[in-house]
A and B are shown apart, each in its own frame.
Chain A
Amino acid sequence: MGGKLPTQTYHQIDKDKADFEYLRNKLKIKQLETVERFKEKHPRVHKYLTEKSIDLGKIREHSAKIIGAGALTSTLLISPPSEVKIFPPPAELIEKLKVAGGTLPLQGLQKFVVDNIQNILPERTRPLTTGEEKYLEQVFHQATGINVKANLEGEHLNTTYGLIGAEQHLVRYPGDTLNQHGKGEAIKEGMAPGKGAWGYFANSRSSLTPSLENTEKWYGVVQTLYLPDWNTRQPYLRDWYKYRKILIVNTNNGNAVVAAIADSGPAAWTGKSFGGSPEVMEYLGGSKYKKGPVVVLFVDDPENKIPLGPVEYNKISLPDMAYLKT
């Protein structure tokens, strides 16, 4: 079936549009009120900001320019994150991992990884240093067999360590409905009314391949909209990030998922840096898991061999060691 006739849906279109316009108008009024109140209360500050060409409405663009121009490096050199921990060289940990792999029960290996990454991660989520990222890349590669990179082909996420939040299912094709995404817990979060940042996954139900179905099931969300060069390097970046594989690791329990990037967000004012589909979140932390710290790295998989979905430490052969002893 090709869905409902336009004559059956135009009322809904009008309602959706009205809903958006109503919300837009309400927020616009709030915005104008807030800006005016600021100007009235702090006229000298407003004047000084204007003289300095600082527009608070465009402060994120200003920040992106500064950081993009390399200012971050110098700032970090001047004031390095105070909570950077000193960690052993990756080789040392890898050696321990090999030993642990040979002696610990399989779940013990996951715990061993968690304990070690928690030793190097800061207490509060923040962008990691290159050294910290390199360390994690090697740990995860050795523990899961998956080749991961914080910087892949010159691209880097806003942050590799941040909070992930629960997302809804995405509309996969025109006419898609929630109950076609599964049953019970899998559809508890509902389905977003609009399309994801890359639009429909397929033009119709019949053209939705099992691979695309799996992509929606195991999708992740990253803040592409806040990348400093997002607007200037189009369409390259848009294509590069579409369905790009990422490894998401819950740093509290070590549960890990390979996901495909299929939406952009969350908003900067949510405190979160990433999002996960209902299935991703369920695997990372269980049915009640809504938010938590994760490490996110690109999966370097040029031959498309790494499947989307859960990474089970005991299902992937560790490189250079046979830890499954029977």
Chain B
Amino acid sequence: MSKIFYDKIIILENIEKEINSRVQTEEEKDELWQIVDEIVHHKVFGCIMDNLPQKYHHEFIEKFKKAPHDESLFDYLKEKIGKNMEELIKLEIGDLAFEILQDIEGNKKK
């Protein structure tokens, strides 16, 4: 199993559709999925670090390194931030989806 604790709230179905409609091989699909995956991880981590007080940054990274799949990390973040981190990440990813789709729409209109 390869799972990250925030997987369940990352919903980029339209981008998956776009990719799947433009690739010819499994290798091409894997490559593009991997690029999106890396974008997502940086966006989510950036969002967490923007909100998490600096004094907890290292502690969070240690916990994350130990169990990146553990959904109780959301409980930890909620406790330290005092906000619903799931909602903040959803908003961040919503913006990302919009940006990516706008970027790639250009070619479709041609």
Chain A interfacial positions (CB closer than 8 Å to B) = 16-17, 19-20, 22-24, 26-31, 34-35, 37-38, 41-42, 44-45, 48-49, 52, 54, 56-57, 59-64, 66-68, 71-72, 75, 79, 124-127, 158-159, 165, 168, 192-197, 225-228, 264-272
Residues of chain A lying within 8 A (CB to CB) of residue B33: 225, 267
Chain B interfacial positions (CB closer than 8 Å to A) = 1-4, 7-13, 15-16, 18-26, 28-33, 35-43, 45-46, 49-50, 54, 57-58, 61-62, 64-72, 99-100, 103-104, 107
In the complex, residue of chain B having the shortest beta-carbon distance to the beta carbon of A19: B22
Cβ B3 vs Cβ A30 within 8 A: no
Cβ A30 vs Cβ B99 within 8 A: yes
What separation, in Å, do the CA atoms of A24 and B68 have in the docked complex? 28
Shortest Cβ gap from B86 to chain A (Å):
12
10 contacts between A and B (CB under 8 A): A17-B24, A22-B104, A24-B28, A27-B32, A27-B100, A37-B42, A57-B37, A72-B1, A79-B70, A165-B13
Q: How many A-B residue pairs have CB under 8 A?
A: 191
What separation, in Å, do the CA atoms of A54 and B58 have in the docked complex? 12
Residues of chain A lying within 8 A (CB to CB) of residue B99: 30
Cβ B8 vs Cβ A267 within 8 A: no
Cβ B65 vs Cβ A52 within 8 A: yes
Q: A20-B23, A24-B35, A60-B2 are known contacts; what are 12 more A-B pairs with Cβ within 8 Å? A: A23-B104, A38-B42, A52-B62, A57-B38, A60-B37, A63-B68, A67-B1, A67-B3, A71-B67, A72-B1, A159-B1, A194-B29
Provided the pairs A48-B61, A75-B70 are in contact, do residues A63 and B39 lie with their beta carbons within 8 angstroms?
Answer: no
